[in-house]
Amino acid sequence: MVFEFNSVSEFKSKIENKDILISTEIYKQIHKAINDKRRRKKVTAFVAKIKNDVIEFILERDQWVVSLNTCLDVFAQNDMFEECIEIQKMLKQLDHEHNRDK
């Protein structure tokens, strides 16, 4: 998904304030990747268009746990409990994969 911003400061504000729409998109992209049979190593979390610049935000697999924990906080604050439960499952799966790969 492409998020459009009028300025860098508007974009920074959305990120720093943990925008619910951006968090939801990050969650969806990681969820898709985890359920993909190809064991993807990275995802495009979202795309930001700031005036005429387009920036693609990519998360490597080792960044997914931190990103999901941030999403978990945002979703809990917004009473999105079904998503919180799903994130807990995803975190367990990633932890299991990490321990298996050691």
Judged by DSSP in three states, 57 sits in strand
Angle, vertex CA 99, rays to CA 97 and CA 100, nearest 5: 60
Q: What is the pLDDT of residue 5?
A: 96
Contact by Cβ (8 Å): 83, 91: no
Q: What is the pLDDT of residue 34?
A: 93
Structure confidence by residue, pLDDT tens digits, 47-93:
999 999 999 999 999 999 999 999 999 999 999 999 999 999 999 99
Could you give the count of Cα atoms lying within 13 Å of 92 in the half-sphere of its Cβ?
A: 6
Q: How confident is the model at residue 102 (pLDDT cuts 50, 70, 90)?
A: low
Give the rounded distance of the alpha carbon of 89 from its chain centre: 15
Structure confidence by residue, pLDDT tens digits, 5-45:
999 999 999 999 999 999 999 999 999 999 888 888 999 99
